[in-house]
Amino acid sequence: MNRRHLLVANLIASGLLALAGAAHAQDGPVKMIVPFGPGTTTDTIARVVAEGLGKELKQTVIVDNRAGAGGTVGSDMVAKAASDGKTIVMGTVGTHAINASLFRKMPYDTLRDFAPVAFVGYTPTLLVVGANSPIKSLKDLTALAARPEGVTFASAGNGTSGHLAGELLAQRLGGRMIHVPYKEGAVAMTSVMSGQADFMFYHPAAVLPQIKAGKLRALGASGAVRSSAASDVPTLMEQGIKDFDLVAWFMVYAPAGTPAATLDKLRAASAAALAHPDVATRLREQGIEQRAMRADEMAPFNKIELVKWAELVKRSGAQID
């Protein structure tokens, strides 16, 4: 081989090595940010989705918990991350709908700074009371709320879906319903079980074990249809309360500006993962109702949710900062 041929061969080899290195980098791990702590409903759902997504992508998907400020800390990390498909977030109705109205200053804009990847599903919350509570129906709750001292309802914090559901119930039923915010949903649930608070709205995955254990009793579900995880619990709308379709939902987002080809790859892999029987079963066990949503439907859905929850936040008077 003469000198010119050797030089060409070396250049080709170097190019192939560079391409191999780029391909290897592209196939590196994907980080899914969970903007809440370990053991939360969002964390549990994210781990189910991450495992399925990793199998479809044939890449490792790492779950990284970055809690703080009602989920805005972790979400903002993704809004400002590189748009290369390597960092995504398990967004929620709180982080990508409620917080926009709850916080006076938001570090990100839901519609401008994120590209929706996959709608994971939604879950109605259940209105629960302690097993020993005298409140056995909505009629009982209405009667007690009509007293001067009223009733109390617990939540996982100001501006959470449980708080806003309680405020909407107060508007619908009348009477006095006093909000008692806690730092965590589990602590709020304990207060209801012990009788310190009269009721709360919370996710089926969290309350169903306590209902089965005889520590809580469900009076109704907050969605338009019954939860498949608690099909024996009638919706509040079935019981005569109008326009009470409030659900918590979960959606995977990438940073805005992520290339179309990368988004297509993530969306296809996410759709396949969510359709897998094992993933679907595990999500259903968490009370998640799946709903297929096309790429062009996700942003309009998010926009509608921003408007809906903004109205509820305004009515409730809730404000974080």
Pick the CATH number of 28-122+248-316 from 3.40.190.150, 3.40.309.10, 3.20.19.10, 3.90.245.10: 3.40.190.150
| DSSP conformation letters of 13-77 | HHHHHHHHHHHHHHTSPEEEEESS-TTSHHHHHHHHHHHHHHHHHTS-EEEEE---GGGHHHHHH
The pLDDT score that the predictor gives to residue 18 is 43
Q: Return the SS3 of 203.
A: coil
The pLDDT score that the predictor gives to residue 24 is 42
Residue 184: which pLDDT band, with cuts at 50, 70 and 90?
confident
| Number of CB atoms found within 10 A of residue 317's CB | 9
Which amino acid type is present at position 151?
Answer: V
Query: What is the assigned CATH class of domain 126-230?
Result: alpha beta
Closest CA to 142 of 177, 166, 99, 103: 177
Largest CA distance in the chain: 99
CB 79 within 8 A of CB 114: yes
Strand order in the sheet with 114-124: 61-65, 30-34, 87-92, 247-255, 114-124
What does DSSP assign to residue 272? Answer: H
> Is the pLDDT score of 228 beyond 90?
no
Q: Tell me the β-bridge partners of 220.
A: 127
The pLDDT score that the predictor gives to residue 20 is 41
Q: Return the SS3 of 120.
A: strand
Closest CA to 51 of 80, 23, 90: 90
Closest CA to 256 of 111, 127, 129, 154: 111
Question: Token digits for 250?
Answer: 């979960």
Model pLDDT for residues 281-295, shown as the tens digit of each residue: 999 988 899 998 999
3/9 Cα distance (integer angstroms): 10
> Is the pLDDT score of 246 beyond 60?
yes
The pLDDT score that the predictor gives to residue 16 is 44
CB 65 within 8 A of CB 42: no
292/169 Cα distance (integer angstroms): 29
Stretch 200-217: mean pLDDT, rounded? 94
> Is the pLDDT score of 12 beyond 50?
no
CB 123 within 8 A of CB 263: no
Residue 312: which pLDDT band, with cuts at 50, 70 and 90?
confident
Residue 191: which pLDDT band, with cuts at 50, 70 and 90?
very high
Domain boundaries, the chain: 28-122+248-316, 126-230
> Is the pLDDT score of 14 beyond 80?
no
User: Mean pLDDT score of the chain, rounded to an integer?
Assistant: 90
> Higher pLDDT residue, 304 or 317?
304
Residue 195: which pLDDT band, with cuts at 50, 70 and 90?
very high
Residue 28: which pLDDT band, with cuts at 50, 70 and 90?
confident
Percentage of the chain surpassing pLDDT 70? Answer: 91
Residue 321: which pLDDT band, with cuts at 50, 70 and 90?
low
The pLDDT score that the predictor gives to residue 168 is 92
Entry pTM:
0.84
Q: Calculate the alpha carbon distances from 307 to 18, 33, 84, 98, 232 in Å.
A: 48, 25, 30, 9, 31
Give the start-end residues of each E strand in 108-191: 114-124, 126-130, 151-155, 177-181
CB 186 within 8 A of CB 209: no
Model pLDDT for residues 64-116, shown as the tens digit of each residue: 999 988 899 999 999 999 999 999 999 999 999 999 999 989 999 999 999 99
> Higher pLDDT residue, 196 or 3?
196
Whether 126-230 and 28-122+248-316 are alike in CATH topology: the answer is: yes
199 alpha carbon, distance to own chain's centre: 22
Percentage of the chain surpassing pLDDT 90? Answer: 78
Residue 156: which pLDDT band, with cuts at 50, 70 and 90?
confident
Of the candidate ranges 95-109, 118-132, 154-168, the one whose mean pLDDT is the lowest: 154-168
